[in-house]
Amino acid sequence: MDCVFCAIVRGDLPCSPVFESERVLAFLDIAPATPGHVLVVPRAHATGLAEVDPEDASQLMVVAQQLAGALRRSAVPTDGINLLLADGEVAGQEVFHVHLHVVPRTGGDGFQVSAEFSHPARVQLDATAAHIRAAL
């Protein structure tokens, strides 16, 4: 089944591009959190981050880094940058084609990222780390 980002990558749907390469496409979000909110997508379809070709994943971050600098040098108000990649519905992913949000920030812009952080004991942290290492 096709997805909206694949259609944009193919040129079947319009976008406002800011960067293009053989591996990734970056374009303005049509529902931006703040002005200048950019999405960076791999050209090859992948639903989740673990499925992305490692070279494409690398390019997502390299392009996000370049965009962060460009936003700060541009006329777009930018005092800070948030990067966000939601992987899975429970994480807030709405379009199931991997995409990295590059969100320019200014004081009082209304964009919020919040969480309730816990403070587990070291033994719990060590046990969780062991599970993750075993899965690698």
Contacts (Cβ under 8 Å, ≥6 apart) of 8: 14, 15, 25, 27, 41
Residues 37, 99, 101, 119: which is the catalytic one?
Answer: 99
Rounded Cα–Cα distance for residues 38 and 67 (Å): 8
Residue 99 a catalytic site member: yes
Cα distance from N-terminal residue to C-terminal residue, the chain: 30
Catalytically active residues, by annotation: 99
